[in-house]
Structure 1
Amino acid sequence: MAKKQLRRSTNNRVIAGTIGGLGEYFGLSRLLINIIRVLIVLGVFGSWGTLFIVYVIASVLMTPKQA
């Protein structure tokens, strides 16, 4: 059995595929992942800038899924 790996999505993407990759990994919709992400980042850090920085870091750390 193949082990699931967290990777950026190549077909379920808007910008970098980070949110689509999270959705595919956890079996959730991209919309639900975005809502959770906004609530957590704004609730904990309270800044849109932090939300952007977290997204960029996740995009760099997650490798793209191989076709």
Structure 2
Amino acid sequence: MKKKRLKRSDTNRVIAGTVGGLGEYFDLSRRMITIIRVLLVIGTFGSWGSLLIVYVIVSLLMTQSQK
């Protein structure tokens, strides 16, 4: 069995492929990951600026997938 790795998606991407990569890792659609992100921002962070900072940090930390 192949070990799953968290990585940015090449095929399921809009900007950096971070949300698509999370969806592929957890077997969720990109739409479901986006809904979860929005609920987290509303419930915890309270600002869209925080979400942008977290997105950029996660994009830099996740490796690019290899074809």
Are 1:35 and 2:35 matched, yes or no?
Answer: yes
Give the corresponding residue for 2:60.
Answer: 60
Return the alpha-carbon distance in structure 2 between the equivalents of residues 33 and 45 of structure 1.
Answer: 16
Give, as a single letter, the amino acid of the residue that structure 2 aligns with 1:31. R
1:21-59 CA-to-partner distances (Å, cap 9, x unmatched) read: 000001100001001011112210101000100100010
Return the alpha-carbon distance in structure 2 between the equivalents of residues 55 and 14 of structure 1.
Answer: 13
Gaps of 5+ in 2: none
1:3-32 CA-to-partner distances (Å, cap 9, x unmatched) read: 100000001000000000000001100001
Aligned pairs, how many?
67
Instruction: Describe how 1:44-55 pairs up with structure 2 within 5 A.
Output: 44-55=44-55
* Runs of 4+ that moved beyond 2 A: none
Gaps of 5+ in 1: none
Structure ranking higher in strand proportion: 2
Deviation at 1:2, TM superposition (A): 1.3
Return the alpha-carbon distance in structure 1 between the equivalents of residues 38 and 54 of structure 2.
Answer: 11
Relative to the length of structure 1, the TM-score reads 0.96
Give, as a single letter, the amino acid of the residue that structure 1 aligns with 2:10. T
RMSD: 0.7
Relative to the length of structure 2, the TM-score reads 0.96
